[in-house]
Structure formats: C-alpha cells, structure tokens
Amino acid sequence: MNILHIYPSFELSQGGPPLSIKYLALSQVSDGHKVSLITYCKKKYRIPGVNIINIKYIVKRFSIPNFQSLLKINNSIRNNNIIHLHGMWNGLISFSAFFSKNFKTIITPHGMAVKRNIYNKPIFKKIYYHFIDKFFFKNIDGCHYMSNHEYLNSKWIFKNKKFCIQHNLIDTNKIKKFVLKNKQKKIFNNNLINLVYLGRFNEIKNIIFQLEMMKKIKKYKSNGILLHLIGPNNNYKNKLRKLVKKYQIEKFVKFKNPVFDDKKFLILNKANFVLLTSNYECNSILALETLSSGGLLVSNHNCNLDFISRKNVCILSKNKIESFINIVLNKGNINYKVIRNNAIRYANKNLNYKIKNNLVTLFYKKL
C-alpha cells in the first residue's frame, strides 16, 4: 500500500503525537509499505524509509497552508491508497479531509475529540466543528483510537464510523540498549528521593498538583526529596516558578531544560518515581517510555492506564495528594523492584513498533 500520514507539525514542542506517528510509520515501512508524511518542521526532519513532504503556512497558529502547500497536499493525496489524518482543530486537517473525500481516509484524533479534553478554547472548537469539520469528516471512512476510553468518548463527533483500537508503539530495543550501556552513569544524587516529570508544561499536565504535593511533603520531611521538572521554557513554566516561590519549596523543586535525546531514557530509569498527574492522557508516550526504560511510573486515574496497571507494571494512584505522598514516601507494602522488572518485560512484549499484525495497518485493508 501507499500510505500518506498528515499532521500539522513535527516541531519538538508538539510532544507525543509526532513520536506516535513516527513509530506507526516505521512499523509500516518494516512491513514493506510505501509511506509518506506531510507536515511542517522548521529544521529538516528524517524518518528512515519515509518520504517527508514539508509544507508552509500562511497562518501557523491555525496550520492554514499557503497556496503552494495546498497543491502539494492535493497531489500527494492523489498518489496514495490510504490517507491517514492525525489530530483536529486546524486548517491542515480540514483541507486534507476535503481533498481526500474520494479516497480511503482514516483519522487518529490523538485524544483531541474527547469531550473533557476540549476545555481549552471549547467555544472555538465547537463552532469550528459545527461549521467546518462536521461536513469534511462525513467522508472519513474510519477512526483509529488509542484506547477504549477514547473511542467511547469521541462518538459525539465520529458517531458509528468503523474503528480500530491500537495503543502507541515505541522503539523498546533502542531504549533497552541505551539504558544497559549507560547503566553506571550518575544522573541524580542517590541520597535523595528523586521524583521526575518530563514533558511539556501546560495546564492539562496538571503540574500544579505536583507542586502542591511537594508543599505538603515539606511538612513531613525537611530535606531528602527533590522534584525534577524537565521541559521547555514557556509562560506556563514561568507560572510554575512563581508558585514554587509562593509555596516556599525552592529547595524541593528543580527546573531543568528539556531533554530530547536518548538521555531521557536513563533519567526515567534512574528516577525513584516518574510522575504522571495529567487532567487527561489518551495514551501517554512518557508512560510507555518509562515502562520500557524500567522506570517506576506513578499515575493517576485520568491517564487511562487502568489496564496496564493491572499487569503490575506501574502504580495507579487515587487522584489525591495524600495517595501520591504515601507512594513516594514508601508508606505501603509495595515491591518497587518487581514492578520495574515487570514493566520491562511488558514493554518488550507489547510496545515495540515492529510488533506483528499492527492493527492500524490491518484496519486499512478492511476499509
């Protein structure tokens, strides 16, 4: 098959979706398919075996392509069997859905269609859907969801369209080799309990919960614990810095620059706990990379990890600060080493992008 993926931006600031698309594309290349990707990227981006078609925007904020890019998109769609759209609420996906109305087309919303996940600019999104995407999405043949929760909570847009459910995939072999090779490197002060959040800083990630947790921990411990907040600078990160000062927890919280290379896998492995406290996660790449690194993931119930937590590969906490505190201060009878070992085994078996019978690719053939 000739497969065309379309996503607005592969800039590093985009977080999980570009990695999700990258490994789906690599999986399809390894199965012998011809794969292309339309996206915007300021710096040249490469995915082995994938033809990347870089486009430009006249309005970058809303991903509205310029005229030359619209021609590229239309021509590329005509030269492929399967058109796979990724994301919502932007001009690129809307135009692409219009151009691909006579071709086999599926969409991966990446959690963007879940009602509780559109609290950011909800009026704009509802208007945009009812006046634009409602008509363009009529011709989409099917949907790819990353969890059953996403499927159940996206029906208000995609109704009863055909669908498949396939979680994100990653390169578990690469992660395993890097961690083993660099196992002796020192990352943290081993005399401390090191907590890590690694990713974008925005409201949905609910980092304020972690700061409030550290504020309470301060009452239990005068020292010996440190929260590392690792991610790119932005206005929200500045807001968090002010809260740290307000809560007087400067010696309990350390802000660090983003880590985009393989070093992040060692950070996830060496941390005592990796925290995921988001208001919503569809299928977190951070969670999957933590499992594959042999890290100890602590997540709340908003992150839709209930299924894998039953495999004893991570810790699922109540959405309460005291519950998280009990875990990181080891107030329960939990064998953390067993969980780490289970996580690695689970990742190697279920998360590698070279998994046989990729459900998304099989779904294409059913359309």
Q: What is the pLDDT, as a whole number, of residue 332?
A: 65
Nearest to 36 by CA among 64, 78, 65: 78
Amino acid at 3: I
334 and 194 inside one domain: yes
My answer on whether 100 and 249 are in the same domain is no
pLDDT of residue 119: 59
Q: Distances in Å between the alpha carbon of 100 and those of 74, 95, 157?
A: 8, 9, 18
Give the model's pLDDT for residue 197: 97
One domain for residues 221 and 334: yes
The number of folded domains in the chain is: 2
Digit-coded pLDDT (tens) for 172-181: 999 999 999 9
Average pLDDT for residues 78-93, to the nearest whole number? Answer: 96
Whether residue 164 is found in the same domain as residue 179: no
Mean pLDDT of 55-70: 95
- The reply to whether 330 and 340 lie within a common domain is yes
Within 8 A by CB and 6+ apart from 107, the residues are 84, 85, 86, 88, 93, 97, 137, 140, 142, 143, 144, 158
The domain that holds 244 is classified in CATH as 3.40.50.2000
Indicate the average pLDDT of the chain. Answer: 93
Can you give the pLDDT at residue 362? 94
Looking at the structure, tell me whether residues 235 and 305 fall in a common domain: yes
Q: HSE of 113 in the Cβ direction (CA atoms, 13 Å)? A: 27
Where is average pLDDT lowest: 117-121, 197-201, 272-276? 117-121
When mean pLDDT is compared across 6-10, 27-31, 115-119, 174-178, the lowest value belongs to: 115-119
Whether residues 154 and 189 share a domain: the answer is no
Are residues 137 and 249 part of one domain?
no
Same-domain check for residues 216 and 152: no
137 burial type by CB count under 10 A (0-12 exposed, 13-18 middle, 19+ buried): buried
Angle between the 16-30 and 359-366 helix axes, to the nearest 10 degrees? 70
For the cut 70, the answer to whether the pLDDT of residue 203 exceeds it is yes
3-state DSSP percent of the chain in helix, strand and coil, to 5: 45, 20, 35
What pLDDT shows up at residue 171? 96
Do 241 and 356 fall into the same domain?
Answer: no
Residue 89 above 80 pLDDT?
A: yes
Q: Are residues 209 and 147 in the same domain?
A: no
pTM recorded for the entire structure:
0.92
Of 284, 285, 288, 336, the C-alpha closest to 312 is 336
The tens digit of pLDDT for each residue in 112-157 reads 998 777 656 778 888 899 899 999 999 999 999 999 989 999 988 9
**Shared domain check, 150 and 188:** no
pLDDT at 307: 84
- The residues, any chain, with a CB within 8 Å of residue 305's CB and separated by 6 or more, are 276, 281, 284, 287, 297, 299, 314, 316
Please compute the mean of the pLDDT values over residues 223-232 and round it to a whole number. 94
Residue 334: band (very low, low, confident or very high) from pLDDT cuts 50, 70, 90: confident
Range of the domain at 138: 2-169+352-366
